[in-house]
Structure 1
Amino acid sequence: MYQVLLYYCYTPLDNPEQFRDEHHRFCLELDLRGRIIVADEGLNGTVSGTAASCARYMAAVKADPRFAALEFKVDEVPTHTFQKLHVRVKPEIVHSSLRHVRPHEKTGQHLSPDEFKALKDRDDVVVVDVRSDYEYNLGRFKNAVTLDMENFRDFPERVEQLKQFKDKKILTYCTGGVKCEKASAFLLEQGFENVYQLHGGIIKYGIEAGGEDFDGQCYVFDNRVTVDVNRVNPTVISRCQHCQEPSNRLVNCANPHCNAHLPLCQACGEQLQGACSAACAAHPDKRTYDGTGAYPKLSNHYNPAQGLASYGSGKC
Structure 2
Amino acid sequence: MKKYQTLLYYCYSYIAEAEQFAADHLKFCKSLGLVGRIIVADEGLNGTISGTPEACEAYMKAIHADERFAKTEFKIDDVEELSFLKMHCRYKSEIVHSGLRDTTIIDPNKQTGKHLEPVDFMKMKDEEDVVILDVRSNYEHNLGKFKNAVTLDIENFRDFPEQINQLAQYKDKKILTYCTGGIKCEKASALLLHHGFNNVYQLHGGIIKYGKEAGGKDFEGKCYVFDNRIAVDVNQVNPTVVSVCYNCGVTTPKMINCANPECNEHITQCDACGEQLQGCCSVACTTNPRKRPYDGTGYYVKVPQPVAVKG
Asked if Structure 1 and Structure 2 have the same fold, meaning a TM-score greater than 0.5 normalized by the shorter chain, the answer is: yes
Q: Which residue of 2 aligns with 1:76?
A: 78
Q: What letter matches 2:238 in structure 1?
A: N
In structure 2, distance between residues paired with 1:264 and 1:154: 25
Aligned partner (choices 273, 277, 294) of residue 289 of structure 1: 294
Q: Which residue of 2 aligns with 1:203?
A: 208
Question: Which segment is superposed worse, 72-81 or 278-287?
Answer: 278-287
Q: What letter matches 1:295 in structure 2?
A: Y
| Offset of residue 97 of structure 1 | 1.8
- Seen in structure 2, the aligned counterparts of structure 1 residues 68 and 284 have a Cα distance that, compared at 3 Å, is closer
The superposition leaves residues 22-80 of structure 1 with CA deviations (integer Å, 9 ceiling, x where unpaired) of: 21121111111100010000001000011111111111101111112210011110121
What stretches of structure 2 of length at least 5 have no aligned partner? none
Q: Which residue of 2 aligns with 1:9?
A: 11
The superposition leaves residues 111-152 of structure 1 with CA deviations (integer Å, 9 ceiling, x where unpaired) of: 000110010010010000000000000000000000111000
What stretches of structure 1 of length at least 5 have no aligned partner? 300-312
In structure 1, distance between residues paired with 2:153 and 2:274: 26
1:89-238 equivalences in 2 (<5 Å): 89-98=91-100, 99-100=103-104, 101-238=106-243
Q: What letter matches 2:38 in structure 1?
A: I
In structure 2, distance between residues paired with 1:255 and 1:221: 19
Q: Which residue of 1 aligns with 2:21?
A: 19
Q: Secondary structure at the match of 2:73?
A: coil
Q: Which residue of 2 aligns with 1:306?
A: none
Aligned partner (choices 33, 36, 45) of residue 34 of structure 1: 36
C-alpha RMSD of the superposition: 1.4
Q: Which residue of 1 aligns with 2:88?
A: 86
In structure 2, distance between residues paired with 1:50 and 1:289: 28
In structure 2, distance between residues paired with 1:153 and 1:233: 32
- Seen in structure 2, the aligned counterparts of structure 1 residues 293 and 191 have a Cα distance that, compared at 3 Å, is same
Q: What letter matches 1:148 in structure 2?
A: D
Q: Secondary structure at the match of 1:292?
A: coil
Q: Which residue of 2 aligns with 1:241?
A: 246
Give yes or no for contact 2:177–2:189 (8 Å, CA) kept in 1: yes
Stretches of 4+ aligned residues off by more than 2 angstroms: 254-259, 277-295
Q: Which residue of 2 aligns with 1:60?
A: 62
Q: What letter matches 2:94 in structure 1?
A: E
The superposition leaves residues 131-178 of structure 1 with CA deviations (integer Å, 9 ceiling, x where unpaired) of: 000000000000000011100000000001111000010000000000
Give yes or no for contact 2:261–2:303 (8 Å, CA) kept in 1: no
Give yes or no for contact 2:211–2:235 (8 Å, CA) kept in 1: yes
Give yes or no for contact 2:174–2:200 (8 Å, CA) kept in 1: yes
Q: How many residues are treated as equivalent by the alignment?
A: 300
Q: What letter matches 1:58 in structure 2?
A: M
Instruction: Calculate the TM-score normalised by the size of structure 2.
Output: 0.93
Instruction: Calculate the TM-score normalised by the size of structure 1.
Output: 0.92
